[in-house]
Amino acid sequence: MTSTRAAASGGLDALVECLEAEYRALLAEDHEQLEAVLARKEQLLSDLAALPAVLGSPQSDRARALAPWKQALARVRELNQRNAIVLAPRAAANRARLRFLQSALGRDTVYAADGSVVSGRLRAAQAQSA
pTM: 0.60
Question: 3-state class of 57 per DSSP?
Answer: coil
Rounded Cα distance, 24 and 30, in Å: 8
What confidence score (pLDDT) does residue 123 get? 45
Show pLDDT as tens, one digit a residue, over the chain (130 residues): 445 555 566 788 899 999 999 999 999 999 999 999 999 999 998 888 877 654 555 555 666 666 667 788 889 999 999 999 999 998 899 888 888 887 777 666 666 767 776 665 544 445 555 5
Cα angle 32, 38, 41 (rounded to 5 degrees) comes to: 145
